[in-house]
């Protein structure tokens, strides 16, 4: 999964600020590896969808638990979806604190989001006092246990956002090692709570992100993206962060691609007759080889056995074509794998290999 850069405009933004959404969408277009989401006030959702022309995702900032009824002033998840949102924030600390939202209420909103087919970004994080007492991990664990429905099947775009309350809007951030430790802990809590489905959820960091501190945080392998308040209101700052995230996402994909091809070569050597042609050094061929060894009962066979390879090669070609690479460019793909192909390749690998396998590859990629 690529990195996600999510903006949260809070109670800010009028029609004349849609120009900023357009600018962010243009930046996202030019940096296609990173995923971009803008959570805006409900009044702007449908116009933001139009302004961004589908190039970024648009989200809501909160939703009511019920689908419809006598709840004057509330907006349901179904209404957000109808307006064009694909994701909604749940349990932002400002709602927990200023509107006394409990974990149970947040859980009901997450259930509502899932009912409406929206991804939910569930915010958790400790206060300054809790941080000082060393309670960050237990507070996050408790909030996750309370606000994540037990058998949640996360919709696309779902995530946990770790947002220490003392870091929001304060210009302060936790140390990098603290962020990494908390995010690892949150990953473990998610696994306990929703099992295998946990692989479908990113874990974001949020709190006083600026173009100056984004790189260090995004470089932590635990971080799946950022939730950004203040800086998301300035399209120039947000665009700078998107560019950094795209670069880092590209590097991660390339590492993953390397790890996958290493592994596939090893598999091929163990289980297959080594192909005699130079294609053995082509990433398409390597991947096809690995795919075959994993999915097809093979006896001795020849590299020219086309039906076995057709499926995986076609999938790889589709992914590369989607990223704008022609067949002839693919034929020349001996040598370093271009970043776009690496990204498509790792996305394809994610689909084929499954979450557990992918995690092992990611660990291997980090050590390359």
Q: What is the token pair recorded at 250?
A: 């590209």
Q: Which residues pair with 57 in a beta bridge?
A: 37
Does position 121 interact with ligand PEP (CB under 6 A)? The reply is no
Does position 227 interact with ligand PEP (CB under 6 A)? The reply is yes
Among 13, 199, 206, 338, indicate the residue that binds ligand PEP (CB under 6 A): 206
Helix (H, G, I), strand (E, B) or coil at 75: coil
Q: What is the token pair recorded at 20?
A: 């900023």
Q: Which residues pair with 36 in a beta bridge?
A: 5
Subset of residues 146 to 165 that bind ligand PEP, contact rule: CB under 6 A? 163
Task: Give yes or no: 163 in active site.
Answer: yes
Cβ pair 301, 273 in contact under 8 A: yes
**Contact letters for ligand PEP, residues 4-33 (x by CB under 6 A):** ----x-------------------------
Query: Which positions ≥6 away from 91 have C-beta within 8 Å?
Result: 101, 103, 106, 109, 122, 123, 124, 143, 147
Does position 230 interact with ligand PEP (CB under 6 A)? The reply is yes
Task: Give yes or no: 100 in active site.
Answer: no
Among 174, 229, 250, 283, indicate the residue that binds ligand PEP (CB under 6 A): 229
Does position 235 interact with ligand PEP (CB under 6 A)? The reply is no
Q: For ligand PEP, which is the closer residue by CB, 200 or 241?
A: 241
**Out of 61, 78, 92, 101, which one is annotated catalytic?**
92
Q: Which residues pair with 7 in a beta bridge?
A: 38, 228
Quote the least distance from Cβ 39 to ligand PEP, whole Å.
Answer: 9
Does position 255 interact with ligand PEP (CB under 6 A)? The reply is no
Q: How many Cα atoms sit within 13 Å of 353 on the Cβ side?
A: 27
Does position 168 interact with ligand PEP (CB under 6 A)? The reply is yes
Q: Which residues pair with 119 in a beta bridge?
A: 87
CA angle 175-361-145, nearest 5°? 55
Which of these ranges, 68-76, 113-121, 206-214, 297-305, lies near ligand PEP under the rule CB under 6 A?
Answer: 206-214
Does position 237 interact with ligand PEP (CB under 6 A)? The reply is no
Q: For ligand PEP, which is the closer residue by CB, 139 or 315?
A: 139
Among 140, 228, 292, 341, indicate the residue that binds ligand PEP (CB under 6 A): 228
Q: For ligand PEP, which is the closer residue by CB, 33 or 214?
A: 214
DSSP symbol at 155: P
Cβ pair 66, 75 in contact under 8 A: no
Q: For ligand PEP, which is the closer residue by CB, 205 or 291?
A: 205
Cβ pair 262, 268 in contact under 8 A: no
Q: What is the rounded CA–CA span in Å between residue 300 and residue 272?
A: 7
Q: For ligand PEP, which is the closer residue by CB, 94 or 282?
A: 94
**CA-based nearest residue to 105, from 162, 73, 46, 62:** 62
**Out of 163, 198, 263, 347, which one is annotated catalytic?**
163
Contacting residues toward ligand PEP, per CB under 6 A? 8, 163, 168-169, 206-209, 227-231
Q: Which residues are catalytic?
A: 92, 163
């Amino acid at each position: 999964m690529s990195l996600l850069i999510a903006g949260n405009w809070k109670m800010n933004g009028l029609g004349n600020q849609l120009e900023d959404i357009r600018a962010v969408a243009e930046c996202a277009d030019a940096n296609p590896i990173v995923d971009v989401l803008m959570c805006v006030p409900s009044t702007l959702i449908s116009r933001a969808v139009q302004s961004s022309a589908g190039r970024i995702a648009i989200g809501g900032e909160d939703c009511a638990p019920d689908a419809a009824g006598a709840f004057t002033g509330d907006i349901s998840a179904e209404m957000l979806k109808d307006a064009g949102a694909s994701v909604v924030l749940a349990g932002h600390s400002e709602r927990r604190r200023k509107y006394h939202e409990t974990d149970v209420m947040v859980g009901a909103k997450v259930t509502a989001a899932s009912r409406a087919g929206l991804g939910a970004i569930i915010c958790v994080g400790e206060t300054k006092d809790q941080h000082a007492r060393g309670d960050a991990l237990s507070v996050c664990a408790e909030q996750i246990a309370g606000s994540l429905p037990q058998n949640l099947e996360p919709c696309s775009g779902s995530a946990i956002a770790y947002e220490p309350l003392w870091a929001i809007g304060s210009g302060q951030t936790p140390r990098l090692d603290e962020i990494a430790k908390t995010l690892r802990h949150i990953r473990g809590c998610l696994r306990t709570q929703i099992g295998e489905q946990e692989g479908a959820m990113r874990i974001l960091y949020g709190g006083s992100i600026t173009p100056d501190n984004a790189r260090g945080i995004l470089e932590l392998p635990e971080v799946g993206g950022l939730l950004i308040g203040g800086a998301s209101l300035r399209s120039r700052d947000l665009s700078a962060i998107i560019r950094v995230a795209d670069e880092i996402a590209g590097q991660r994909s390339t590492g993953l691609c390397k790890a996958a091809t290493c592994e596939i070569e090893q598999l091929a050597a163990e289980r297959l007759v080594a192909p005699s042609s130079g294609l053995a050094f082509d990433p398409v061929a390597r991947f096809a080889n690995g795919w075959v060894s994993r999915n097809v009962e093979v006896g001795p066979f020849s590299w020219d056995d086309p039906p076995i390879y057709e499926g995986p090669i076609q999938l790889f070609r589709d992914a590369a074509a989607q990223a704008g690479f022609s067949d002839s460019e693919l034929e020349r793909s001996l040598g370093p794998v271009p970043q776009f192909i690496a990204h498509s390749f790792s996305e394809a690998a994610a689909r084929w290999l499954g979450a557990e396998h992918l995690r092992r590859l990611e660990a291997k990629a980090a050590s390359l």
